[in-house]
């Protein structure tokens, strides 16, 4: 995974709440077996609307998506994270995230930043007033900065360290292989197992 330390870029104001992962990328794009190439599916239904924010040239090149509450609810599809990253987003700021989407983002290095609704509202106004506003998402300081203001956000130390170092979870877990083997040796015999051929 690519390291995430400090990112600075322009923002895209998505003034919508309850943006479920079916909107981020509809199921029809999930038939692919690759891990990249999902940018064309990003918000594909909404992009048919010329008024949709991603169709506004003023916000082209934005790398920080600022959305309403309950972003990424619904389906577990990690393709939603891949589509946002393929489009160029490095971070998403919202008042609340769907749990699975948030977890998937942290696995893939797309930083989900939870800020209160009034901070999000301020960021929306800043970006809409001046689309070239630079937004800094600083994981080292756990802080978002824009227009001379700053807002701190929470992320647990372990996840922060993993992102700062760009570490792969599987590699980290396999350091504890002996613990896994020890646990397995004591599992009750009534636990189900599936016949393999």
Partner 1 sequence: MGRTLAEKIWDAHVVRSAEGEPDLLYIDLHLVHEVTSPQAFDGLRAAGRKVRRPDLTLATEDHNTPTDNLVTIADPVSRTQLETLRRNAVEFGVPLHSLGAAEQGIVHVIGPQLGATQPGMTIVCGDSHTSTHGAFGSIAFGIGTSEVEHVLATQTLPQTKPRTMAVTVTGALRPGVTAKDLILALITQVGTGGGQGHIVEYRGEAIRDLSMEGRMTICNMSIEWGARAGMVAPDETTFAYLKGRPNAPAGADWDAAVEYWRGLATDEDAVFDTEVTIDAGAVEPFVTWGTNPGQGAPLSGTVPVPESFADEAARTAAERALSYMDLTAGTKLRDVEVDVVFLGSCTNGRLEDLRAAAEVISGRRVAEGVRMLVVPGSAKVRAAAEAEGLHEVFTAAGAEWRFAGCSMCLGMNPDVLTPGQRSASTSNRNFEGRQGRGGRTHLVSPAVAAATAVAGHLAAPADL
What's the CA gap between 114 and 97, in Å, rounded? 8
Q: State yes or no: residue 52 binds partner 1 (CB under 8 A).
A: no
Closer residue to partner 1 (CB): 50 or 177: 177
Give the one residue of 7, 8, 9, 20 binding partner 1; rule: CB under 8 A.
20
Q: Is 56 exposed, middle or buried (0-12, 13-18, 19+ CB in 10 A)?
A: middle
- By CB under 8 A, what part of segment 94-133 binds partner 1? 96, 98-100, 103-104, 107-108
Q: How far is the CB of 150 from partner 1 (least distance, A)?
A: 25
Closer residue to partner 1 (CB): 77 or 87: 77
Distance of CA 183 to the CA centre of its chain: 33
Among the residue ranges 6-14, 124-132, 140-148, 167-175, the one whose residues contact partner 1 (CB under 8 A):
167-175
Q: How far is the CB of 47 from partner 1 (least distance, A)?
A: 12
Strand bridging mode 135-138 / 143-146: antiparallel
Do 30 and 36 contact (CB within 8 A), yes or no? no
Strand bridging mode 149-152 / 143-146: antiparallel
What's the CA gap between 101 and 171, in Å, rounded? 22
Residues binding partner 1 (CB under 8 A): 16-18, 20, 22-23, 26-28, 30-35, 45, 68-70, 73-79, 81, 96, 98-100, 103-104, 107-108, 156-158, 169-170, 172-174, 176-177, 179-180, 183-184, 187-197
């Amino acid at each position: 995974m690519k390291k995430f330390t400090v990112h600075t870029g322009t923002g895209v104001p998505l003034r919508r709440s309850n943006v479920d992962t079916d909107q981020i990328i509809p199921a029809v794009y999930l038939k692919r077996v690759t891990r990249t190439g999902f940018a064309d599916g990003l918000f594909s239904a909404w992009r048919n609307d010329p008024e949709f924010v991603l169709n506004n040239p003023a916000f082209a090149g934005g790398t920080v998506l600022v959305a309403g509450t309950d972003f990424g609810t619904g389906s577990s599809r990690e393709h939603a994270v891949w589509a946002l990253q393929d489009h160029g987003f490095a971070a998403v700021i919202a008042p609340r995230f769907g749990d699975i989407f948030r977890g998937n983002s942290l696995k893939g290095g797309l930083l989900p930043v939870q800020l209160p609704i009034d901070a999000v509202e301020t960021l929306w106004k800043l970006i809409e007033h001046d689309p070239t506003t630079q937004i800094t998402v600083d994981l080292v300081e756990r802080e978002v900065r824009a227009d001379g203001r700053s807002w701190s956000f929470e992320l647990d130390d372990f996840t922060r360290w993993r992102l700062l170092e760009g570490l792969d979870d599987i590699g980290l877990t396999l350091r504890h292989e002996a613990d896994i083997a020890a646990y397995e040796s004591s599992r009750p015999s009534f636990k189900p197992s599936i016949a393999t051929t």
